[in-house]
Structure 1
Amino acid sequence: MSIQHTMPAGVPTSPDGPSAASKRAILKQNYPVRYLVPALIILLVFFFVPTILNFVYAFTNWSAYSKTLSFNGFDNFIALFQSGTLLRDLAITLVYAVLVAIFQNTFGLVLAVFLEQDTRLNRFARVMFFVPVIMSALAVGYIWQAVLKSDGALNQILSFLTGQQIDVAWLGSTTWTIVLVAAIHGWKWMGLSMLIFLAGLKTIDPDVLEASSIDGANRRQTFWKIKFPLLAPAFTFNVATSLLGSMNGFDIVQATTQGGPGGSTEILNIFIWRTFGQGLYSQSTTMSLVLFVMVAIIALPLIGYLRRRESKIL
């Protein structure tokens, strides 16, 4: 039985089939560009225009204390870099992002390996570990803040198990608090990394695994020599999204420590939020521009390196 393709009215045809112009006409008729207009308007209003204005206002004296708006060149940048706070918060943001990427991808990879088999229990566990991903980041932060405070649930459990009064301020160290907060951030998003790694594991050809088993490779050798290298695309996605996403973090840090103690967890978005709340709008805009540039400087070489690594392995 032959299948005849019905051409839209008005589209020229030829014995050899539709021409290139005919194909464009068919695509235009089946997928009208007008359906993209609402999305383009939203993207223009809520992304492109604010981004352009961000570049403009960073070079002005815009604030709640100035009645006029005028350009002041690089005065905002000079003042912020001379204060030292901006450089400190940039360093804290970078450390925080690296820690989050390590925790999130380590947790996600471990979960993916242990939950790889499609059993009923593993499917249930995958859902449970994915629940924090769809939770509000503020809610996650407040929950962990309640757990880790001096009279919180963790100290009460430890006191019950040891028979002694435990009163540790888990979020009170200027050295280790950022590690705990980064671990909380990684815990929240580990379910997403788990799904990406699981998808990568499912794409591995079973014949390759069977051949390694026939050659005498044990499970550990199979994972490190075959599965782990073939997860390169999943690593590219997970590392890039976790590292760059955490550089724009705010909610979890604000809910758990509010940038303390002593500013040890004051990532740049916390600083931007506080500065904007003080009415220093142009300075907060300048800091967001600096953050944008830093993310771009890190993102482009990182993604390029990870893609080259993929091409070498695969």
Structure 2
Amino acid sequence: MVDTATMDAGAAPQAKGRDRSSPQGRRERPRRKPDQPWWFALPALAVFGVFFLLPNLLNFVYPFTDWSAFHPQIGFAGLSNFDAILHDGSLARDIRITVEYAVLVAVFQNGFGLALALLLERDTRFNRFFRAVFFLPVLISALAVGYLFRALLAQDGALNGVLSSLAGRPVDTPWLGSTTWTLLVVTLIHGWKWMGLAMLIYLAGLKSMPGDVLEAARIDGAGGWRTFWSIRFPLLAPAVTFNVTTALIGSMNTFDIVQATTAGGPGSETEVFNIYMFRVFGQGLYAQASAMSLVLFLIVVVLAVPVIVGLRRRENNQ
């Protein structure tokens, strides 16, 4: 009589072998979900291409044409538009004003933002409320901010009215009409508008600092200023890089705040490069305005890249 256990033991490997070889015995793998059709992205790609990619590509073409309100057709013009810009007489002045504007905005925006981040660092109800208050200007339209300050700083505006009440005599200071300090006033307005964003970035940097390093500094007897300057500020290097870079690039491309407050005046003392470009475009010289935008792009690259490289190197040396 044959041992049934032996038969079962011998039959098991054969059954396994049949299971592997026969299609019926194979284990069915879970079916992979089909990928999303790529054409779902077509509407977004179309919007991106028509309203962003194509205009930017054409911006490298139109500067070399004679496109204007005075020509029925567009033809090739070579470097004549760039030659006209160089001999216009306003290029060097407006580049200088734009660079001064960008540097002042970067100083004010980061100074205000860092000071607010240090003052509102603790997570209290009071501090959370005022963080939201100081961030509100970031959400307001830049044109609205410009027109608001234009009304406040007019010679018969609210600021001179308050100063007149305090001084007991009429005050009619032309805050936006002086060739001496108007550029400084407009950069203060720009820095005030964007200081809330810088504050949030610095707050994130302060909150991410390792507590054991700060505790070790306190144990070693370092005071508040010494701890900030030797430990906390170096650890804020990534936040400084981001804020300084965005402030410089954003202010060199500014238009709305300056247009709403001074429109480039008085006497072209606040005529940044985009105001100059807007004036030329309004004269119907479209190709020349496109050439100026290309010049501004090159200026931003030439000035911003060394700053970014220097700040990144500073981060790596911390």
After TM superposition, the score normalised by the length of structure 1 is: 0.89
Distance (Å, rounded) in 2 between the aligned partners of 1:132 and 1:181 = 15
Amino acid at match of 2:162: I
Aligned 1:122-141 pairs, distance under 5 A: 122-141=127-146
Trace 1:1-314 onto structure 2 (pairs within 5 A): 9=31, 29=35, 33-313=38-318
Superposition deviation, residue 88 in structure 1: 1.4
The residue matched to 1:55 in structure 2 has which SS?
coil
Cα deviation, residue 35, structure 1? 4.5
Which residue type is aligned with residue 193 of structure 2? Answer: K
Kindly state the Cα deviation for residue 86 of structure 1 after the two structures are TM-superposed.
Answer: 1.9
Whole-angstrom CA distance in 2 between matches of 1:299 and 1:250: 18
Amino acid at match of 2:317: K
Q: Give aligned-pair identity as a percent.
A: 59
Going from structure 1 to structure 2, the CA distance change for 1:42 and 1:145 (only over 3 Å counts) comes to same
Code of the aligned partner of 1:289: L
Provide structure 1 residue ranges, at least 5 long, that are not aligned to the other structure.
1-5, 11-25
Tell me the distance in 1 between the aligned counterparts of 2:30 and 2:139: 44
How many residues matched? 291
Q: In structure 1, what residue type is equivalent to 2:153?
A: L
d(CA) in 2 for partners of 1:115 and 1:140? 24
Aligned residue type for 2:163: L
Please state whether the residue corresponding to 1:58 is helix, strand or coil.
helix
Once residues 154 and 128 of structure 2 are traced to their aligned partners in structure 1, the CA distance between those partners, rounded to angstroms, is 33
Distance 2:230 2:29 in 1: 53
Provide the rounded CA distance (Å) in 2 between the counterparts of 1:8 and 1:52.
47
Aligned-partner Cα distance in 1 for 2:47–2:206? 37
Asked which structure has the greater CA Rg, the reply is 2
Change in CA separation of 1:206 and 1:36 when aligned onto 2, cut-off 3 Å: farther
Amino acid at match of 2:284: G
Cα distance, 1:299 vs. partner? 2.3
Moved more, 295-304 or 267-276: 295-304
SS of corresponding position for 2:59: helix
Ranges in structure 2 where 5+ consecutive residues have no aligned partner = 1-27
Q: Which amino acid aligns with 1:192?
A: L
Note the aligned Cα RMSD (angstroms): 1.6
Is the deviation greater in 79-88 or in 190-199?
A: 79-88
